[in-house]
Amino acid sequence: MSIKAQVEAWSACLPELQAFFPKHAETYSAASKHFVFEPRYDVYSQLEQAGALLVITLRDYGKLIGYWVAIVTPDLRFRDCLTATADFWHIEPEYRAKAAPLILMRAVEREYQARGVTRSFAGENLAHPSGRLFKAFGYQPSETYYEKFIGTSHA
């Protein structure tokens, strides 16, 4: 096993990422039961062009086995706070009990520090807990979000 994490351009690795998206949406998102999974690729491209999109890939001998996609922007309420918000992330199941999560999180932390991020948000899907990993890297629970689907478009 030769697992490496690195920053990659969204536009360069998008075809590989797209292969994971349907499974990712089905596994992690309750919304996929109510809406068609159709990422706004144009918006992600705009974020990339603006320097606000961070993609860290996790590869084993070059094969994509995981990723972390975050949006890095100045906070709207705290002007001097550069905030990174994890949009979505994934590690293939067969790698989750190994060193892969730590390798990915270390790369995320290094890149956040290099970019001057002062606050980071990462969500934990309650059906697939990851709080232990986040707590190991100094994250603390700060908010709980609740979701409700209103007038959904498909079932």
User: The domain containing residue 86 runs over which residues?
Assistant: 3-136
Domain tally, the chain = 1
Q: What is the pLDDT of residue 150?
A: 59
What pTM did the predictor assign?
Answer: 0.83
Tens of pLDDT, residue by residue over 66-76, are: 999 999 999 99
In a domain, 129, yes or no: yes
> Chain centroid to CA 145: how far?
17
User: What are the C-alpha distances in Å from 131 to residues 15, 57, 120, 134?
Assistant: 29, 20, 14, 5
In a domain, 150, yes or no: no
In a domain, 119, yes or no: yes
CATH of the domain at 117: 3.40.630.30
In a domain, 45, yes or no: yes
Low-confidence stretches of the chain (pLDDT < 70) are: 1, 27-30, 124-131, 134, 137, 139, 141-155
